[in-house]
Amino acid sequence: MTDTAPVTLITGSARRIGAAIAGRLHQAGHRIVLHAHRSSDELQERAFAFERARPGSVLALQADLRDADALPDLVDQAVAHFGRLDALVNNASNFFATPVGQITAEAIDDLYAVNARAPLLLAQAAAPHLRRQQGCIVNLTDLHGSTPMRDHPAYSMAKAALEMATRSLALELAPKVRVNAVAPGAILWPEQGKDDFAQEALLARTPLARIGTVEEIAEAVRWLIEDAGFVTGHTLRLDGGRTL
């Protein structure tokens, strides 16, 4: 393992889309800082797999992103271990309904802390290290950051904040650091399930008539990090044309 290989910190990278992003970047030669909150078993399994494939290429960290004091430490540990940081991928998210009439301040704070506040504070902590490497940040937003989702006003609001953070950080950190976002459409059905009628209705509104794959999201993130040298402040919408 060469110490010139890029280092990428990916939040929420033990499972689902985050795991696919980590796998794609590791395959591309990155050293990976994996992060999870509760998915400790999956985190360790993924770390062991990366280490077997390429010794010295992975660091696994656990933290609750709602704890603002823990965020700079994630960046510090990554840099202390690998000596550099080239990219930050803010993938971690939480998601639950907040129908009007049932919204609480605690629910708003919980959704905002993970989906908007943590990415901004992590970006702030990472910025000095990213500047040294002329690195980049990729945020995972959501189509519902620009088009509201029924019964999810607090989640949609938090993702809209992350969209604005992407644009604001692109302005603040230029010219040394690029900041972009990927806004997936339907990629994986929610873990709590989605009935057949709801799935069919969503696909009927998607011109490409299918859900996307985690591999397509992961490749988009890799492209923004490695190949999109003149792109900043942009949200790439991977939605099969649904926003049309």
Q: Kindly state the tokens that stand for 8.
A: 């990428």
Is the pTM of the predicted complex or chain greater than 0.85? yes
Q: Does the pLDDT value for residue 1 go beyond 50?
A: no
**CATH number for the 7-238 domain, one of 3.90.1170.20, 3.20.20.100, 3.90.1150.10, 3.40.50.720?**
3.40.50.720
User: 207 exposed, middle or buried (CB, 10 Å; 0-12, 13-18, 19+)?
Assistant: exposed
Average pLDDT value for the chain: 93
Q: Can you tell me the mean pLDDT for 147-156?
A: 94
Q: Does the pLDDT value for residue 139 go beyond 50?
A: yes
Q: Dihedral angle at the C-alpha atoms of 17, 59, 28, 94, nearest 10 degrees?
A: 20
Cα(152)–Cα(144) distance, integer angstroms: 9
User: Active site includes 112?
Assistant: no
Task: Give the domain ranges of the chain.
Answer: 7-238
Q: Does the pLDDT value for residue 176 go beyond 80?
A: yes
Q: Can you tell me the mean pLDDT for 25-31?
A: 98
Handedness of CA 143, 149, 154, 155 (dihedral sign): negative
pLDDT tens digit sequence for 94-132 = 999 999 999 999 999 999 999 999 999 999 999 999 999
pLDDT tens digit sequence for 36-61 = 999 999 999 999 999 999 999 999 99
Handedness of CA 8, 14, 15, 19 (dihedral sign): positive
The one catalytic residue among 23, 155, 182, 206: 155
